[in-house]
Structure 1
Amino acid sequence: MLKNYFKIAFRNLWRHKGFSILNIGGLAVGMAAAFLIMLYVGFELSYDTMFPKKERIYMLVSDIKTPSDSYQIPVIDWSVLEKITPRFPEIETSTRIMDLSLSIQKGTENFQEKRSLAADSTFFQIFGIKLLKGNPNEALRAPLSLVLSETGARKYFGSENPIGKRLKIMNGEYTAQVTGVMEDLPHNTQIEADYLLSISTYTQIIDPSLDTSWANYEPRGYVLLAENTNTENLVSKINTYLDEVDGDKMKAANLFVKQDLELITDVYLHSTRIGNGSPNIGKVYIFSLIAVFILLIAGINFINLTTARSVERAKEVGIRKVVGAQKKQLMLQFVGESLIVTLLAFFLGIAIATLALPYFNALAGQTVASGIFINWSYIALFFGIALAMGLAAGTYPALVLSSFRPVSVLKGKFSTTRSGAFLRKGLVVGQFSLSIVLIIGTLVMYNQMHFMQNQDLGFVKDRLLILDTDNDPKQQLLSDHLKTNPNIISIGKASTVPGGGGNKSSALSLMENSQGQDQTLTADRYIIDENYLDQLDIKLLAGRNFSRELASDSTQAIIVNEKVVDLLGYANAEEAIGASFDQWGRNGQIIGVVENFHAESLKREIGPLSFVFDPKQSRLLTLKVAATDLSRTLNFVEDSWKQFLPNTRFEYYFLDEFFDRQYRSEQRFNNLFLSFAVLAIFISCLGLLGLASYSTKQRRREIGIRKIVGASVPGIVNLLSKEFIKLVGIAFLIAVPVAWFGMHKWLQDFAYRIELSWWIFALAGLLAIGIAMLTVSFQAIKAAIANPVKAIRTE
């Protein structure tokens, strides 16, 4: 009997190949898409979960309040861990980590290693990262100690044992000794590094004052807490103690600091202090919902297609009942056939996901998974989903078709119930509601990205070529030589450029406010020359630019932006000119005020910004180049670089491209969202096609009679399409408030954002109706042009 069921099932699938391809293919594509999304969500949720003591590792963060502003930052003062670690027994140990772009020289080649960190000697004790060679307790203790990952060791030493070998670092200024080789770190961690330099290199050699400085915020801090520590009580005790130790400094500087603790496994997903300032958990929620949407749409589609097909088998069931088939046997047959289809779709979906994984990794911008079978629990989950869909899709037609009287069916009197039609239409409304939500989301995201990338930034970023010389002593010689090329319009110098290139730093500053009092604020600090503002077309609202003719400009002058003027309480930019300042040992007066410009992504509000004049400390060369003969200009720049800086790797970037990298994460997110939205709409169309097919088959005699009495093809197409347009209209009304709420919440992550205009929702509705019309018209036209005689022959 079971063998017979399988034989009948496969015969039906083979006899109706087009239907089978639609049914199995639609479900397989939906399951593959949802499976890939699950891999992405699992990857995001696994961030920083690989550390053995992850439940006890916390990131120490800082909340800073000044009279004018407040800041929540993911870094700490250099000396705070040294103060609190021995004081509180709840803290077993602590470590500082500082992000680096480390230049490493071997022979005549110089490499700029961006995956680098400076770390305390307790680094391995806290994170439990396996050290393959070397002593984990000593590897980062001495200054100029360097630990390499397996990848880094192979890059510089091949198959040789690197322990004890030396590498020149920081443009050859220092020589570091390799003291360890660690295992490669995975991609799903914020402790990303192929090179670890002992932080004592900075605190004992480069700047011995760091360990005793106050309010110098640069490293990240991590603590390993004792088991069962009450973190709220510990934070309270830490802040009380620091008030006692540093309270006088805080009052004198009018700057008040509080510390907090964030569990390391929560930082990436929930912290607002890292990255672009918005928690990553939002993306996880959105993609999880999309996965659920796609599975629901695929499941609804499968049920509708299965139902539409099953009505054609009513006479087959009637004959089987006449010759003695029992209701239980018929139900088993239908459910079994449905399960066969869903299992075929499951295996096809796994195959599609396997083939699509490399493309998906590229679209996500990271290796979300190296293979489909890395987590068998996901495979088991989707196998269970396939079984559930098979049971759901097979049970309904099995109950309906096995319950009617065979005599009525054989006489042609079989018809579907009103509740069955309502169910199918409700499923289609649900499908298109979800699809319209995705269409609206795609339109909103596209418009927000277009808005950010085309917004007036307040500076000009076109045709600016940036070279990072890392303060090489021959920087000026290179600059003088580059000026000889007529295609290089001007050359400036800076420590950083908008978008975070170079050495971005923030400075604790005292500035005279409108009341004549010293006011503390934290301002981003750019070190520039006299050409920089003109090159970027940053507008001066009051005062003047820096000048090489005035020696005091390099020691006693500062330029600020409008935001600083507002925070200091001045009515206009002119009033701030001449106000005194004290910033990192530099004392003098404000000599100029520039118009606010977006130095960072439009996800962030414009903050206080200051410029100081010191060409010798400006590591970046900014070249304004002509648009013509660009390739020849680049060749000239590269040849000049090799002539004057032969031991430094030649690297460059254009400011416009570099600035837009800040939106790379949003672009990838939007591309993923768009891809899955298109898939969801495609699967929804298959469901609509199924219902249209079902409806036209039910009304084929009616259509035949209408044609005989004179109905036109357009009239019949309109008749059949009208009810589906109504369904899409209902879906639109349901989708609009849901989409508005979701997109309104998503836009709150952007300081500068578009308005949710009515036309976005109207366009989404028109697109949905257009897609529905195209889908339904295929079946409607096919039914309208069919021979009416064939349709009514059995009457």
Structure 2
Amino acid sequence: MNAAQIKTIFRGSFKKRSSLFINLTGLSIGFAVLIAILFFIQDEKSYNQFHENIDDLYCVFTIEPSANNSIGWHESVPAIPEALRNEYPEIANAALVRNGKENMLVEYGDTKYYEDIQLAESNLFHMFSFPVILGEIPEKTTDTHIIALSQKMAAKYFGEKDPLGEPIIIDNKDKFTVVAVYEDMPINSSISFDFWIPIELIEETRPGYLDTWYNLSFKAYALLQPGASFTEVNKKLFNRIQQSNPESKDKAQLYPFSKLYLEAWGHNKNVRTMSLIGLIVMLLVCLNFINLQTAEVFKRIKQFGIRKINGASNHSLSIQLFTETFLQTIFALFTGIIVSYLGKEYLLHLINKPDTGAPLLSGTALSILLLCVFLLSSLSALVPALTIRTVALSNSLKEKISEKVSVKKLRLIIMAVQFSLAIVFVASLIITTKQVRYLENKNLGFSKEQLLYIRLDGELYEKRDVLQQTLEQNSGIINTSLSSHSPIGIYWNGGGWNWEGKVADFDPQITFIETDKKFSETFGIQMAEGDYFKDEQPGVVINKTFAQMIAPGENALGKMLIKEDMDIAIPVSGVIEDIHFKPLNREIGALMMIPEMGFQDMRFLFVKVSPANMAQTLNFIEETVKGLNPDFPYWHHFLDDDFARLYLREHTLRAQMTFFSILAILISCMGLWGIMVFVVKQRVKEIGIRKVNGAKVSEILAMLNKDFIKWVAIAFVIATPISYYAMDKWLENFAYKTNLSWWIFALAGFLALGIALLTVSWQSWRAATRNPVEALRYE
């Protein structure tokens, strides 16, 4: 092919500006979305891969046999790491980490902020690739009042000053010395914190706490010796907890750290979902491009006829079509790359990823995109080329278009596939919206509205009774209650409890929370049996789920609960209706409300506020707290905000489904418009003859539209079982879920049909109202 031919192809390819704009817009947006999805997949798969010892790093998982869980949970009793180091020669190192971070007041000079601090054994830094850039973190230390911080925090508190040896005050009372600064932990790390304090600090207030074999409030990690088999270690480790705690039924097992994020935490589902979405979007875009490209080619059918008269072969015409589509797709890819970078903020928000400054486009992603360009160019040239071969030369010169039945069916099948995918997206959007609303409106068994909580830091803890009394005197405050935890953020649990008639192999995990006697009233929790705490009546309050475990079909009141290793024997004094203290993707477990016994500090005051004059009431609360505790910043949070954060993933999915549904409908309509242009051009003479013979506009509209309605109906039949199966599998992630009602799929189908009719009716109306004399000139 010479330069003149290439120039002609280039000019011809970009001559029809309006249709080209419509065609390339969808393709460019599709490429931009694909770039974002490829970035998402690459980022998800990169989690934790930066650790040098990634293949030898393992988490300790605890399996609860009664829960029927073959994988277990990423939690551990605190005594496990020491046993791993001392008893298992296959283990090079092990580290204990507190489950969750401690939010504390950090102060240096005039800089004072609440920060999240991680309590962990110092050898965590010697197992994982968290480089220390200043100072040193000793592998074993008896000094518990040392602290290390990230580069970001060092700059925040010390600026250009050397932080080593400097004192940091925690909670206005405890002094810690800075011993090291480490690199900011990568955002694609499952372990991430900006402040570190030795976990041995816990022993100062709770001697022996880190040697227990029953408390699952920790995480543990292990580094295997090179070449060691973790399956052999697991065989030895399986009954290790029972050796030190015969009452426990929990089993400890090593789990590859490399699989933690994707498999154990379930992010592989996100990767598969986004991969499927990317595949569907590109399929839609490609089908749309092929349809519009075919319609555009047949507008130039006379030009191809003239070229055939001048000696052009079918092969040379196919090369021309391929070159044209290749130029267009390359241009669309270039435009898509520009769009993705200009709209980077929105695309990252769409895929729920922060902007770390990393490039959106990697070498692997670019290779995939170029492969898409080649395949799309080939397919987009193939369909018109096959159709051109069927057009007689005389008909080409008269612009009289005909095609084989097989090609026509292929075109209609493409349209049906497009609308099937669009209906799947719309149905998925409706179902995700319905599930999110279900989660938001589900009766939790307690009231979360107008309920805020205050952390009792500093002097506020000692003055908590005064604080309660002062607040309850305000008419805008309905009630207050002290508690060790939030009811949707409880991290204190364990097994080893006994009661009369307990089955030998049954050892459920019990979740605990210390509360005062006004807790049920403040939260609006209903009693099923007995009473909540009373001063004259010792005992604990349990939920109905736990009551059915200890007394199936009977009254649980008065049943004695015994935990020998903690020297506890206490009766059940009340049973509450079940409350959802776990996210709704997990079933309600056993819950025990304990009166203040000193196991956990009553660190939170919950305040039920009247909706009337709320701003004034909130100001009163703030002034009261500051007056009693002037050395600490005022801090409060609303419980319903915490609940909303539990379902950020579902809200993100709904936003994604909204975007992709709109995109799928728009692309499908663009493809449908392309087909309609082609069909009208095919039937110009027929329409003219029908009008001359008295056909009404409505009859011509019905004639042109009926095939499209039929194929949209076929698309609905195809899409319904696919969307039902996909969303049914998604809803399996929730223990409590909405119903898959028939009207969801019917509504999605009617929306697709309505939009399709609006799209084709415009072209149909233009053809039906055209002067028949002009139409007959085509012959």
Query: Please, what TM-score do these two structures have when normalized by structure 2?
Result: 0.94
**Structure 1 residues 216, 516: CA separation in 2 closer, same or farther (over 3 Å shift)?**
closer
Instruction: State the secondary structure of the residue aligned to 2:561.
Output: strand
Is 1:16 paired with 2:3? no
1:218-257 equivalence runs, <5 A: 218-239=217-238, 243=242, 245-246=243-244, 249-250=245-246, 253=247, 255-257=248-250
**Structure 1 residues 67, 260: CA separation in 2 closer, same or farther (over 3 Å shift)?**
closer
User: Amino acid of the residue matched to residue 186 of structure 1?
Assistant: P
Is 1:111 paired with 2:113? yes
Instruction: State the secondary structure of the residue aligned to 2:86.
Output: coil
Q: Cα offset for 1:442?
A: 1.4
Q: Which stretch of structure 1 is more off in the superposition, 155-164 or 319-328? A: 319-328
Q: Cα offset for 1:509?
A: 5.4
Q: Cα offset for 1:521?
A: 3.8
1:789 to 757, 773, 779: 773
**Structure 1 residues 515, 127: CA separation in 2 closer, same or farther (over 3 Å shift)?**
closer
Superposed CA RMSD in Å reads 2.5
Is 1:158 paired with 2:145? no
1:711-726 equivalence runs, <5 A: 711-726=695-710
Is 1:600 paired with 2:593? no
1:707 to 669, 691, 701: 691
Deviation digits for residues 494-527 of structure 1, max 9, x if unmatched? 1122321xx6311435242457999854321111
Check conservation: 1:458, 1:596, Cα contact below 8 A.
Answer: yes
Check conservation: 2:215, 2:493, Cα contact below 8 A.
Answer: no
Q: Cα offset for 1:107?
A: 4.2
Check conservation: 2:556, 2:572, Cα contact below 8 A.
Answer: yes
Q: Cα offset for 1:482?
A: 2.2
- Find the aligned partners of 1:792 and 1:312 in 2 and give their Cα distance: 17
Instruction: State the secondary structure of the residue aligned to 1:176.
Output: strand
1:775 to 759, 768, 779: 759
User: Amino acid of the residue matched to residue 40 of structure 1?
Assistant: F
User: Amino acid of the residue matched to residue 209 of structure 1?
Assistant: G
Check conservation: 1:39, 1:368, Cα contact below 8 A.
Answer: no
Equivalent residue number for residue 375 of structure 1: 362
User: Amino acid of the residue matched to residue 557 of structure 2?
Assistant: I
Q: Which stretch of structure 1 is more off in the superposition, 430-439 or 613-622? A: 613-622
Instruction: State the secondary structure of the residue aligned to 1:422.
Output: helix
User: Amino acid of the residue matched to residue 295 of structure 1?
Assistant: M
Check conservation: 1:30, 1:683, Cα contact below 8 A.
Answer: no
Q: Cα offset for 1:743?
A: 1.3
Instruction: State the secondary structure of the residue aligned to 1:256.
Output: coil
**Structure 1 residues 9, 485: CA separation in 2 closer, same or farther (over 3 Å shift)?**
farther
User: Amino acid of the residue matched to residue 689 of structure 1?
Assistant: W
- Find the aligned partners of 1:373 and 1:212 in 2 and give their Cα distance: 47
Is 1:477 paired with 2:478? no
Q: Cα offset for 1:724?
A: 0.8
**Structure 1 residues 413, 136: CA separation in 2 closer, same or farther (over 3 Å shift)?**
same
- Find the aligned partners of 1:764 and 1:68 in 2 and give their Cα distance: 38
- Find the aligned partners of 1:367 and 1:166 in 2 and give their Cα distance: 33
1:445-464 equivalence runs, <5 A: 445-464=432-451
1:441-590 equivalence runs, <5 A: 441-470=428-457, 472-500=461-489, 504-508=491-495, 510-513=497-500, 520-547=507-534, 549-550=535-536, 556-572=538-554, 575-583=555-563, 584-590=566-572
1:173-252 equivalence runs, <5 A: 173-203=173-203, 205-239=204-238, 243=242, 245-246=243-244, 249-250=245-246
User: Amino acid of the residue matched to residue 115 of structure 2?
Assistant: E
Check conservation: 1:460, 1:537, Cα contact below 8 A.
Answer: yes
Check conservation: 2:426, 2:661, Cα contact below 8 A.
Answer: yes
**Identity over aligned pairs, percent:** 30
Deviation digits for residues 65-97 of structure 1, max 9, x if unmatched? 469999932111111121122322221111112
Deviation digits for residues 639-692 of structure 1, max 9, x if unmatched? 222222222222222222222221112111221232122212211111111111
User: Amino acid of the residue matched to residue 149 of structure 1?
Assistant: S
Check conservation: 1:466, 1:621, Cα contact below 8 A.
Answer: yes
User: Amino acid of the residue matched to residue 105 of structure 1?
Assistant: E
Unmatched runs of 5 consecutive residues or more in structure 2: none
**Structure 1 residues 449, 140: CA separation in 2 closer, same or farther (over 3 Å shift)?**
farther
Q: Which stretch of structure 1 is more off in the superposition, 305-314 or 578-587? A: 578-587
**Structure 1 residues 202, 346: CA separation in 2 closer, same or farther (over 3 Å shift)?**
same
Instruction: State the secondary structure of the residue aligned to 2:497.
Output: strand
1:684 to 661, 668, 671: 668
Check conservation: 2:35, 2:340, Cα contact below 8 A.
Answer: yes
Q: Cα offset for 1:486?
A: 1.9
Deviation digits for residues 548-576 of structure 1, max 9, x if unmatched? x43xx5xx42111101110113424xx21
Unmatched runs of 5 consecutive residues or more in structure 1: none
User: Amino acid of the residue matched to residue 267 of structure 2?
Assistant: N
1:392-471 equivalence runs, <5 A: 392-401=379-388, 405-470=392-457
Check conservation: 1:67, 1:520, Cα contact below 8 A.
Answer: no
Equivalent residue number for residue 44 of structure 2: 44
User: Amino acid of the residue matched to residue 464 of structure 1?
Assistant: L
Equivalent residue number for residue 125 of structure 1: 126
Instruction: State the secondary structure of the residue aligned to 2:633.
Output: coil
Instruction: State the secondary structure of the residue aligned to 1:752.
Output: coil
Deviation digits for residues 184-232 of structure 1, max 9, x if unmatched? 11222210111111122224x2333024222122221111112333222
Check conservation: 1:139, 1:145, Cα contact below 8 A.
Answer: no
Is 1:339 paired with 2:326? yes
- Find the aligned partners of 1:422 and 1:519 in 2 and give their Cα distance: 63
Equivalent residue number for residue 96 of structure 1: 96
Equivalent residue number for residue 81 of structure 2: 81
Q: Which stretch of structure 1 is more off in the superposition, 525-534 or 432-441? A: 432-441
Equivalent residue number for residue 695 of structure 1: 679
**Structure 1 residues 318, 672: CA separation in 2 closer, same or farther (over 3 Å shift)?**
same
Check conservation: 2:545, 2:590, Cα contact below 8 A.
Answer: yes
Check conservation: 2:230, 2:254, Cα contact below 8 A.
Answer: yes
Is 1:668 paired with 2:652? yes
Deviation digits for residues 146-192 of structure 1, max 9, x if unmatched? 111111111211121111111122x2342111111111112222101
Q: Cα offset for 1:137?
A: 4.1
User: Amino acid of the residue matched to residue 778 of structure 1?
Assistant: W
Q: Which stretch of structure 1 is more off in the superposition, 707-716 or 346-355? A: 707-716
Q: Cα offset for 1:309?
A: 1.1
- Find the aligned partners of 2:111 and 2:596 in 1 and give their Cα distance: 29
- Find the aligned partners of 2:505 and 2:412 in 1 and give their Cα distance: 70
**Structure 1 residues 323, 105: CA separation in 2 closer, same or farther (over 3 Å shift)?**
same
Query: Please, what TM-score do these two structures have when normalized by structure 1?
Result: 0.92
Check conservation: 1:190, 1:268, Cα contact below 8 A.
Answer: yes
Q: Cα offset for 1:379?
A: 2.1
- Find the aligned partners of 2:178 and 2:774 in 1 and give their Cα distance: 86
**Structure 1 residues 228, 718: CA separation in 2 closer, same or farther (over 3 Å shift)?**
farther
**Structure 1 residues 748, 519: CA separation in 2 closer, same or farther (over 3 Å shift)?**
closer
User: Amino acid of the residue matched to residue 81 of structure 1?
Assistant: P
